[in-house]
Amino acid sequence: MTVRRIRTAAATAAILTCVAACSAPGNDTGSSDAADSVVIGVASEPDTLSPLLGYGKDGNSKIFDGLLARDAGLELKPALAKALPEVADDGLTYTYALRDGVKFSDGEPLTSADVVFTYRTILDAKTNNTSRSELDAIKQVRADGDHKVIFTLKYPYAPFAGRTVLPIVPEHIAGEQNPNAGPFNTEPTGTGPYVLASWSKGEKLTFKANPDYWGGAPKVKKVTMAIIKDDDVRATRLRSGDLDGAVLPPNLAAAFKNDKAKKTYDAETYDFRAVTLPTANKVTGDRAVRQALDAAVDRQAMVDTILDGAGRPAYGPLPVDDSWFADGIEREQDLARAERILDQAGWKSGDGGIRAKDGQRASFTLLCPAGDKVRQDHALAYASDAKKVGIEVKVESATWEVIEPRMKTDAVLAGFGSSGDPDYGLYTLLYSSLAGDGFNNMARYDDAVVDKALDTGRRSSDEATREAAYDTVQRELVKNPGYTFLTHIDHVYVLADRWDGLTTQVEPHEHGFASGPWWDLEAWQPKK
**First CA to last CA across the chain, in angstroms?**
28
What 3-state class would DSSP assign to 152?
Answer: strand
The residues with which 67 forms a beta bridge, in sequence order, are: none
Alpha-carbon distance of 434 to 396, in angstroms, equals: 26
What 3-state class would DSSP assign to 367?
Answer: strand
Nearest to 337 by CA among 380, 288, 276: 288
Nearest to 350 by CA among 297, 336, 358, 277: 358
Is 272-489 in CATH node 3.40.30.10? no
Alpha-carbon distance of 350 to 456, in angstroms, equals: 45
pLDDT (tens, 9 = 90+) of the chain, 528 residues, equals: 333 333 333 333 333 333 333 333 344 444 445 789 999 999 888 889 999 999 988 888 899 999 999 988 888 999 999 999 999 999 999 999 999 999 999 999 999 999 999 999 999 999 999 889 889 999 999 999 999 999 999 999 989 999 999 999 999 999 999 999 999 999 999 999 999 999 999 999 999 999 999 999 999 999 999 999 898 999 999 999 999 999 998 889 999 989 999 999 988 888 999 999 999 999 999 999 999 999 999 999 999 999 999 999 999 999 998 999 999 999 999 999 999 999 999 999 998 999 999 999 999 999 999 989 899 999 999 999 999 999 999 999 999 999 999 999 999 999 998 877 899 889 999 999 999 888 999 999 999 999 999 999 999 989 999 999 999 999 999 999 999 999 999 999 999 999 998 999 888 887 666 788 999 999 999 998
Query: Counting beta carbons within 10 angstroms of the beta carbon of residue 329, is it exposed (0 to 12), middle (13 to 18) or buried (19 or more)?
Result: middle
What is each CA distance from 312 to 270, 299, 320, 427, in whole angstroms? 10, 8, 8, 23
Measured from the Cβ of residue 101, the count of other Cβ atoms closer than 10 Å reads: 8
What pTM was estimated for this model as a whole? 0.82
Residue 448 φ/ψ, nearest 5 degrees: -65, -35
Residue ranges of the domains in the chain? 47-191, 272-489
Alpha helices, H only, 98-230: 112-123, 160-163, 171-174
CATH topology for the 47-191 domain: Dipeptide-binding Protein; domain 1 (3.90.76)
What 3-state class would DSSP assign to 276?
Answer: strand
Alpha-carbon distance of 316 to 416, in angstroms, equals: 11
Q: What single DSSP character describes residue 395?
A: E
Which one-letter amino acid corresponds to residue 24? A
Please list, in sequence order, all residues whose beta carbon lies within 8 angstroms of the beta carbon of residue 436, skipping any fewer than 6 positions away.
407, 408, 444
Measured from the Cβ of residue 359, the count of other Cβ atoms closer than 10 Å reads: 5
Q: What single DSSP character describes residue 405?
A: G
